[in-house]
Amino acid sequence: MTTNDGPQVIAIEEHYWNRTVAEHYNIEEQPKTTLDRLFDLGEGRLKEMDAAGIDFQVLSHGAPATQRMDPETAINMARLANDELQETILMHPERYAGFAALPTPEPKEAANELERTVTKYGFKGAMVHGLTNGVFFDDKRFWPIFERAEILDVPLYIHPALPHQAVIDVYFQDYAVKFPWLLRAGWGYTIETATQGIRLILSGVFEKFPKLKIILGHLGESLPFSLVRIDEALSRSKNDLASFKDTFCEHFYITTSGNFSTSALLCSVMEIGVDRIIFSVDWPFVENHSGISWMETIPFCKEDKEKILNGNVKKLLRI
C-alpha cells in the first residue's frame, strides 16, 4: 500500500512505548505530546504517517526498553511488549512490522525471544538500547544473541540510550544540567553508540558470526566520517585484525533517523555505498515531515532515492 504519489516510503526507527513496560521508567522526563505519540499505535500515528507520505513503519520499543531491568523482569516485560506489538501489527499488517524488544539482562533468554518473535510473529529483527545494566553489547555473555540472529538471518539494531554514569559524571558534569539534550541526542548518544559499534568490530564477533548484520541509526552515529582514520590508526598496532572499514562496510547498515544532513549523507554514501543506507525518521522525537521534506531535496538520482526510501530495507528485512 502507498499513501503518496511517489515511491513507497518505509521508515524503520519509529518508536512506541508499551504502557506496562513504561511503568518502570520516569516517563515524566518526556513532554506530554511525545508521550501521547509513543503510546499511540493507532489512529493518531497512522494519520501523521499519511499526512507526511510514510507508507510503512517498522515499530520498535523506545529506550531504555528492557536493558536496565533485572533479568526476570526483563524477560516478562519483553515478552509482554512483543505479544502486544504483534496484536497491533495484525490490525494493520499493511502499515506495520516489528523489531523485538529483547531481555538482554538474560542473554540466552534474549536469544530465545528473538527466535520466538521472528519465527512465530514474523518480526524483522530486534532493537537493543544502549548498555545492558552498564555492560557493553560486545561482551561475550551476549554472543548467543548474535549467534541466533545470524541463524535467523535478521539484523540487530543498536540504538542509543544514556551513557554510562561514569561517562556522564566525567564528560558532561554541569553541562548535562544546563543542556540536558547534549547528554542525549546532542552528543551523549553518539559517543555511547559509536563506541558500541567500534567495540563490536574489535571483539571478533564478525569473525565468529560472518553473516551477522547490525544497523546503526543517525547516519551511523558519526562512524562513516571516521572510518578511514580509525582504520589507519588501528593498523599501527601489531595485530591480525581485519580492516576496520571493510568490516564496517560488510556488516553494518545505517539509517537517516534524526540526522537530515545532506553533507553527512553524501559522506556516508561515499564511504559505505548507497546500498547500505535506509530511510528512518526517529518518530516521535523527530517529525515525519522533516525527514520526507529533506529526502525531496537530496541531490540523488531517482534510483538511489528509491533504494534509500524502500529498496534497501526490502532486501534487508524481506518486506
Q: Which domain holds residue 61?
A: 10-317
User: Helices 223-234 and 262-272, interaxial angle, to 10°?
Assistant: 40
Domain count, the chain: 1
Per-residue pLDDT of 11-58, as tens digits, reads: 999 999 999 999 998 877 788 999 999 999 999 999 999 999 999 999
Residue 21 lies in a domain: yes
As a whole number of angstroms, the distance between CA 91 and CA 128 comes to: 25
Nearest CA to 272 among 294, 298, 245, 311? 245
Q: How high is the pLDDT of residue 316? A: 98
Per-residue pLDDT of 50-93, as tens digits, reads: 999 999 999 999 999 999 999 999 999 999 999 999 999 999 99
Per-residue pLDDT of 111-161, as tens digits, reads: 999 999 999 999 999 999 999 999 999 999 999 999 999 999 999 999 999
Q: What is the domain-level CATH number for residue 297?
A: 3.20.20.140
Please indicate whether residue 282 is annotated as part of the active site. Answer: yes
What ranges make up the beta strands (E) of 179-264? Answer: 214-216, 252-255
Q: What's the maximum distance between 2 C-alpha atoms anywhere in the chain? A: 57
Residue 5 lies in a domain: no
Residue 111 lies in a domain: yes
Q: How high is the pLDDT of residue 2? A: 47
Q: How high is the pLDDT of residue 1? A: 43
Say if CB 5 and CB 292 are below 8 A apart: no
Residue 206 lies in a domain: yes
**Length of the chain in terms of residues written:** 319
Instruction: Identify the active-site residue in 40, 50, 138, 282.
Output: 282
Residue 117 lies in a domain: yes
Residue 203 lies in a domain: yes
Residue 114 lies in a domain: yes
Per-residue pLDDT of 257-296, as tens digits, reads: 999 999 999 999 999 999 999 999 999 999 999 999 999 9
What's the pTM? 0.96
Residue 2 lies in a domain: no
Whose cell is 523482569? That residue is 73
